[in-house]
Structures are given as C-alpha cells and as structure tokens.
Amino acid sequence: MLRATYKTNTLLRRPLSTLAPNSANSANSALATTSAALAGNMTPVSGWLTLVLPSSILAIIHIGGLTRLTKSGLSMTDWSLTGEKFPQDDAEWEAEFSRYKLFPEFSQRQAMTLSEFKMIFYYEYGHRMMGRTIGVLYLVPAFAFAALRKIPPGYGPRIALIGAMGGTQGLVGWWMVKSGLGEDRRNDKSEIRVDPKRLATHLGMALATYVVCLSTGLKMMFDGGLAGAAGAAGAAGAAGAAGAAGLKKIEVSPRAHKLLSLIYRKSAVVTALAFTTAVSGALVSGQDAGNSHNYWPHFDEYYEDDRNSTSNTRIDNNNKDKHNTDALIRRWAPSSYFDASSYGGSFFRKFTEDGSSVQFNHRMLAYATVGGAVGLGFLGQRARAFGVIKQHFPKVTTGASAVGLLSLTQMSLGITTLLHNVPMPLAAAHQMGSLAVITAGTYTAVVGREAVKRIVVRAAK
C-alpha cells in the first residue's frame, strides 16, 4: 500500500528529529491548523442552521406523519396565514365540528363523535402551529444575525432561500389539504384523502428545506473552522508563516485521494436516492398501499384457485385444507406492471396512482438506496486503512459507515412495518428512519467535499 506523506515545505522530506526546532514546530503547527479546520467551528449562526432549524423541521415532519397516519389532515377546513383560533368551549367545538360535517370526508364518517373529532383536530392543529413556530424560529434569528452582521459573506442568499422554501411550504400544505375538501370528492367510493401526489410534494419540500438548511450550517462550520484555525496559527508565532502553511493542502497518495473523492460523490448519490425513496413513501402512505401485498421478499402470493381474486388479504395459513390440490404461487412484481392502458397510457399516472405499482417502486428504490449505502459503508472502512485519512478525516469514514448501518436498520423497519400491516408506531419510526439516513448522507457529503477541497495528490518522486 502506498503511504501518504505530508509536505508543507521541502524540509519535511527529512525526519522531524533532524530539523531545527523552529522548522519542526512550524510543520507541526501547519498540520494542527489543518486538523483544527477540519474539526469545524460552531458559531451561533451555524448552530442555528445545524441544530435549531433542522431539529424543528424533523419535529414537524414527524407530527405530519402522525397526522397522516391518524387520518387527521382534513379536520380543519380553512386556512389563515396568521393562524386559526383554537376552540375554547363546548359551543366553539360544536361549531367547528358542524363546519367539518359540511365537507365530503364526514359523509364517510357519520358515526364520528365530538370527542373523536377533537382527537383528529388536535393533530392537524398541532401540525399547523408547529409550522408557524418554525417561522418564528427562522425570522427572529435571521433578522437579528443580519442586523448584527454575524452572517458570513456569501451565506445571505442561501439563508434567504431557506426562508423562501419554508414560507412556500405553508402554501403547499394548504394546496394539498384542499385536494380532499372539494365537492368533486363527495361521491368517491374509496376513502377520501388528500391527493397522494400533493402529499409527496409537501413532504419533498420539507425534506429539501431540511437538507439545504443542514448542509448550509455544516459548510459554515468548516469555513469558520478554517478561518479560525489559520488565524490562531498565525497568532501563535512564526510571524504568520504557520498560519499560511495551515491553509496549504494535505498531500496524500493517489489511492487515498481517489477513495476520498469516491466517498464524497457516492454519499451525494446515496442521499439523493434516500430522498427519492422517502418521497415515494409518501405516495405509498397517501394511498394506504402498505396495507396490501404484505409479503417479503416476494411481492405477493396466492393459490391457483385464487388467481383471479382481487383480494389483497394475507393467506390464512390455518385454513390451507381447501387448497391441498393447488400450488402456492409467489409473485415478485405486480401483474401488468408495464401496462398503463387503464391510465390512458400514462405511466406517470400509473406509477403515482396504482397502489401496487407505487409500493413496488418504493421497494425497488429502497433496495437501490441500501445497496449504495452499504457500499458506501465498506468504502468508509477501507479508508480507515490510510493513515492520513484516519488521522485527519475521521468524520468522513464515520459518516460513511453510519450511512450503511442506518440504511440497513431502515430497511429492517420497513420490512417489519409491511409484514405487520403498517401499525402506527412502526410506520412513524420508519418515516423517521428515512430522515436518519438522509441526515447521515448529507453530513458525509458535506464533510467529504470539505476533505477533498483540502487534499492534493502527492507528486511522484
């Protein structure tokens, strides 16, 4: 294996013990400066972007998932930018319930009591109020940091983008809810729900805001660490020479450079796959597609005499006597998967509206994500064999390994959720598992990019 070397000047080609004391101190200071820069520097602004806002976005996504799972999303039938008044007494609750009864969903829930209505109302109201709380958590610090000139140069547009995405999310949410309130839904034979495509758009916007916010904060941390470390090194002595040396790139072997670059690129791809898989999960949830085809690893199974059955219920293993003469058939993909004639020839409609196809696509995306994530984890383990990576870039290898482990955990959660017919606790945990994979992937992509920016291939001797 090629060994990595560090060369901040030509004197480093000799052992440090042979150098003059000042030269050795300068070399050590240069390496310490680079390591400090890679460790990052948490400031109030970067902490706001990496901890406060992302945590609140995670919370609202979780609440939103519970709102969907409890079928609470259509309990509030109007929307106001400044917020809706919470019912204070029995009369106001009765008025709110009477308003709900005017909309199509109640036609399928006519046995609902006021206490049951209150429960679904709490979920939707809490979801909306959490959104407005995030608005305050964004606006107040953003204006304060801008007024105090605490926002680093170049980061203003990205912080403004985060605000624009968050503000748009409220409008997207109401656009989604309106799809389940229209009079055109009153004669629906299936359960009335919001448009799954709009639900997926709503979740996708939340995830995108989360990723932009987290990646911006992480990048700001590393930029701050580099500037702070260089300044500290320059102030420590050597008339600023060490500070200048600290800004030089670390020289690594070609193999180490290739491996770090590969980890960076692959982590970005895996994060994009995890993002897409999570959005496809919203299509599954929006159609309750997880309540059918509850088998794994195969997609479906039935006996020969049930071939033409439209039932998606699980085979009762305790009543197989009537099937003694029939073979159990297992199917690995939906029938007529490539036939979109029932959807006017539109595969977009078929792959977003057909429950079987939606679930199958979600599975395939999950397999692709897990395959890429596990491969990334192995790359992280390989990278530990390089001394320079292990010493100066431990965040990269740790992040890559975490992506692999979290993706396997998430797949296990998904399979368990499917096999148990989507119980709410497992379904909610499965959604949060996708966020854990996206978080680890985003972190690894950012730290990997910062590592690649700070290394250079060692020149051949």
Whether 429 is covered by a domain: the verdict is yes
Query: Residues of the chain with pLDDT > 70: what percent?
Result: 80
Q: Which of 79-83, 222-226, 292-296 has the lowest mean pLDDT?
A: 222-226
In this structure, is residue 414 part of a structural domain? yes
Residues 139 and 236 occupy one common structural domain? yes
151-184: burial string, b at 16+ Cβ within 10 Å, e else: bbeebeebbeebeebbeebbebbeebbebbbeee
**Averaged confidence pLDDT in the chain:** 84
Say if residue 122 is in the same domain as residue 203.
yes
Residue 396 has what pLDDT? Answer: 92
Cβ–Cβ under 8 Å, residues 271 and 174? no
Number of domains in the chain: 3
Contact 283, 358 (CB under 8 A): yes
Number of other CB atoms surrounding residue 340 within 10 Å: 17
Distances (CA, A) of 433 to 340, 383, 393, 403, 409: 32, 26, 26, 11, 8
Cα–Cα distance, 455 to 437 (Å, whole number) = 27
Q: Are residues 63 and 212 in the same domain?
A: yes
Range 234-240 average pLDDT: 44
What are the tokens at 231? 């300044």
Q: Which of 377, 455, 400 is nearest to 4 (CA)?
A: 455
Structure token pair of residue 27:
């070399």
Q: 235 and 143, same structural domain? A: yes
pLDDT in tens, 277-316: 999 999 999 999 999 999 999 998 877 665 555 444 445 5
CA gap 256, 249 in Å, rounded: 14
- Averaged pLDDT for residues 445-450: 92
Q: Is the domain of 146 the same as that of 215?
A: yes
273 plus 321 within the same structural domain: no
Helix (H, G, I), strand (E, B) or coil at 301: strand
Dump pLDDT digits (tens) for 395-415: 999 999 999 999 999 999 999
Res. 367 pLDDT band, cuts 50 70 90: very high
Residues 6 or more apart whose CB falls under 8 angstroms from that of 319 comprise: none
Structural domain span for residue 365: 253-292+355-461
Q: How many CB atoms lie within 10 A of CB 285?
A: 24
In a domain, 344, yes or no: no
User: Which of the two residues, 240 and 176, has the higher pLDDT score?
Assistant: 176
Mean pLDDT score, 29-34? 47
DSSP SS3 for 243: helix
Cα separation, 303 vs 328, in Å, equals 5
Are residues 320 and 263 part of one domain? no
Q: Phi and psi for 316 in degrees, rounded to 5?
A: -85, 105
In this prediction, residues 159-164 reach a mean pLDDT of: 96
pLDDT at 422 over 70: yes
92 with 209, same domain: the answer is yes
- Whether residue 170 lies inside any domain: the answer is yes
CA 290 to CA 356: how far, in whole Å? 9
Reading the block at residue 76, the tokens are 């509030």
Tell me: do 79 and 196 sit in the same domain: yes
Phi, psi of 323 (to 5 degrees): -110, 15
Start-end of H helices in 148-195? 156-178
Residue 79 lies in a domain: yes
| 69/110 Cα distance (integer angstroms) | 20
- For residue 25, being part of any structural domain is answered with no
